[in-house]
Amino acid sequence: MDRAAAQPPVLPGGRDSPVRRDLAQLLTLSGPVVASRLGIMAMGLTDALVVGNYSARQLGYHAMAWAPTSVVVTMAVGLLTGVQVMTARRIGEGRRDLTGAVLRRGLVYGLWIGVVSTAVLLALGPAFLHSIGLSRDLAEGATWPLIIFSLSLPGYTISVAAGSWLEGLSRPGPVAWAMWAANIVNLGLDLLLVPGRFGLPALGAVGGGWATAGARTFLALVMLIYIARMPEARALGVFTRPERDRPAEIEQRRIGYGAGISNFFEVAAFASMNIIAGWISALAVAAWTIVLNVAAIVFMAPLGLATGAAVMVGSAYGARDPAGVVRAGVVAFAVTAIFGVLVSLAIWPAAGLISQGYTRDAATIAMAAPALALTCVFLTPDALQVVTAQALRARGDVWLPTMTHMTSYVVVMMPLAWWLAIPQGMGVMGLVWAVIAASFLSGGLLLGRFAMLARRDRLAA
């Protein structure tokens, strides 16, 4: 008997099916990326916990200082998305030697983004805090932490460019361990500087800012040293001055512009929620900080899944495999939805205990706990919208996600949050309801767009 004929057929859901392979690849890629993104938030969480337990008022200063810099940080991550996507495309095209050129462009671009962002925030940030209707104490208390956070941006943007390149190569592990090493540095500096130890003065929120600056500089140095010492660095073109490739440069920037502007709209809208909370009260700022910090930690997992989806979709797109593009996207969406539901079910009954971990102030806990429970309503659609947006960008659809985010988070969420929180008297709960509305709108529009493009590709085949 022919041995080949005797082999059992491979069923659609079998071990070797494309769906199973894509699922395994997604989890392999996304696991370390999730760990890395959680490391980013762990740094902010560490600052918030150490500063908040030192003083609830200092936590308010920290939150208000973080809000303007968070806009720049997230926009910078978006502007450098092209590094990740173009690296994955070069791998899909079978042109690994050109990935070094992608990295070199990304590092230069990242340095410029960091330096310009620092200069802008140093020049305009303090005046911004004093001109948005905050109390004098809150504005002055947040000014120095804002200045220090601003100084950390060049190191951060360089580390983002280097990490995005490694993730595009499907090597996210080193990015994760470098990030967690930076977290150890951050924790040590927090415990030393925030309460003041070994004769040092207690710096509060300012100490949290210096801890973040030190950790980000450490992270950039570690990432660059790792890449320089990679055995295959020369084969990948890391040390080779590339020939000028204007179409590739334009495409890398174009992807970054779309993602950067999209991130700017979304994060600026969320930062404006801090301002609305500040119009309510200083305690409302602290309560909203707790809610937003927990949601942001959860959001790191979808960001990791979004990276895995972008690498898989980008590689299939570079290989001109439309069926692979759709399959990679659908697998990523399904995993994301399951994650969103499970984490929501875990957070909802524990909202009170989680809030108590941030502060011992009873009034702040009473305000934060119900808002955090309500947050579980938007975790799934919020997760889906970021994964879908990255999948769309990886397949060349850059600007539709940007317009969707502008509509959902700027046009809808910001005015709705103000109206519910202040004129309607709902406070922090009103802010959460506005996020719920924006998340469902954004997720629905982006999933619809992916389905429409998939149908178009199927008809064109």
pLDDT in tens, 214-250: 999 999 999 999 999 999 888 888 888 877 778 877 8
For the chain, the domain total comes to 1
Domain presence at residue 12: no
Structural domain boundaries enclosing 237: 18-460
Dist CA 405 CA 379 (whole Å): 16
List Cβ neighbours of 354 (8 Å cut-off, separation of 6 or more): 290, 294, 347, 369, 372
pLDDT of 6 above 80: no
Q: What are phi and psi of 434, to 5 degrees?
A: -65, -40
DSSP state of 229: T
Residue 90: predicted pLDDT: 83
Dist CA 213 CA 44 (whole Å): 12
Residue 3: predicted pLDDT: 39
Domain presence at residue 3: no
Rounded to 5°, angle at Cα 81 from 328 and 21? 20
Of the candidates 286, 222, 208, the one whose C-alpha atom is nearest the C-alpha of residue 46 is 208
Are 315 and 92 in contact by the 8 Å Cβ rule? The answer is yes
* pLDDT tens-digit readout, 365-421: 888 899 999 999 999 999 999 999 989 988 878 888 889 988 999 899 999 999 999
Domain presence at residue 45: yes
Are 86 and 311 in contact by the 8 Å Cβ rule? The answer is no
Residue 69: predicted pLDDT: 80
Domain presence at residue 11: no
Q: Is 286 exposed, middle or buried (0-12, 13-18, 19+ CB in 10 A)?
A: buried
Q: What are phi and psi of 115, to 5 degrees?
A: -65, -45
Domain presence at residue 2: no
- What confidence category does residue 180 fall into, taking pLDDT thresholds of 50, 70 and 90? very high
Domain presence at residue 128: yes
pLDDT of 15 above 70: no
Domain presence at residue 9: no
Domain presence at residue 342: yes
Residue 9: predicted pLDDT: 40
Residue 1: both structure tokens together:
């008997």
Cα distances (Å, whole numbers) of residue 51 to 42, 48, 163, 193: 14, 5, 28, 10
Dist CA 374 CA 447 (whole Å): 24
